[in-house]
Structure 1
């Protein structure tokens, strides 16, 4: 499949998911700063989910600039990832309204981990299906630093199940910020800057 067609399809899905996510944000109970600040956990959860979706979109955009075609394995992995990220608006709002709920924390963390795993698998599939693409092979996707966000999420699970219930929520925020910076650092190294 041509990456241009798939990228357009994937971009549209990301845009729809972000739109659904923002439409689920409640309005403050009162038109004051206090009313706005009462919803801080909802806004932070929104920011985490938005950054996850944005980073996936940005990473895919950069990756698809290096390849012209993807194979069926990649399409199926992306299909699974689309399913997982389509659940993000529902579980983001559930978590935001129940920040001290272990099941809400767990589901949000599971979705985050599944998204990270599926993105990693899709990227590996793209690399495998393009072994002669010199530009692609020069990128450092297999860097061990790429696993750091997953480790942070595991720490979040440990915190949630032992001493601090919002541990996954906080670690997801740290993890996505780390994921964004790792992506930029690796990209900068690939560009030779």
Structure 2
């Protein structure tokens, strides 16, 4: 099957996720800068989640450049990923509205953890479908960032009741790890193109 519909559907879902997140930021009453103060936690949680959704969109986009065909398993794995990403607006809003309280902070981490597991499953099904000598398999290599991230999420989830600052810091750390441009897929595709 052609990957075009899966790619278009995924882009649409992620665009809606971002739209829903920004709609959670309620306009404050008043016209002074001080009136924005109650909105700051919601805005900060929005910024973090926007970065996470952007990272997933970017990596998903790059990954699909290596895909030649999709099958039913890949389609369901993609829907599995989109399910967890579609929960980001809810946990973002809950976390921001409750000023990064432990339980919302932990649930935020659970959603991020499950999204990372879903991405890993999708990635591995694509590699299985295209073979271990495929572009994606070559580009991913040992995938250290992909293996470290779930461990960091578990640490952040567990520490959310001990220190919200530490837990939030770990979520920011994972985002920063992935925010640094990952050129593995681009290098692999460029290297293949230049050899042909």
Q: For this structure pair, what is the TM-score category when the shorter chain's length is used for normalisation?
A: 0.7 to 0.9
Q: Which moved more, 1:31-40 or 1:45-54?
A: 31-40
Structure-1 separation of matches of 2:30 and 2:174: 33
The answer on 1:24 being equivalent to 2:24 is yes
- Could you list the structure 1 runs, at least 4 aligned residues long, displaced by more than 6 angstroms after superposition: none
In the TM superposition, residue 137 of structure 1 has moved relative to its aligned partner by: 3.3
**Equivalences, count:** 190
Q: Which position in structure 2 is the counterpart of 1:179?
A: 178
Q: Which position in structure 1 is the counterpart of 2:194?
A: none
Structure-2 separation of matches of 1:129 and 1:159: 38
In the TM superposition, residue 54 of structure 1 has moved relative to its aligned partner by: 1.2
Change (3 A) 1:155 1:189: farther
Pairs within 5 Å for 1:128-143: 128-131=128-131, 134-143=134-143
In the TM superposition, residue 10 of structure 1 has moved relative to its aligned partner by: 0.6
In the TM superposition, residue 147 of structure 1 has moved relative to its aligned partner by: 2.1
The answer on 1:123 being equivalent to 2:123 is yes
C-alpha contact (below 8 Å) 2:106/2:156 kept by paired residues: no
Structure-1 separation of matches of 2:29 and 2:147: 41
Change (3 A) 1:44 1:186: farther
Structure-2 separation of matches of 1:152 and 1:188: 26
**1:37-70, Cα deviation, whole Å (9 max, x unpaired):** 4422211211111111111111111111111212
Gaps of 5+ in 1: none
Q: Which position in structure 2 is the counterpart of 1:156?
A: 156
Pairs within 5 Å for 1:1-193: 1-131=1-131, 134-162=134-162, 164-181=163-180, 184-187=182-185, 190=188
Partner SS, residue 118 of structure 1:
helix
Partner SS, residue 12 of structure 1:
helix
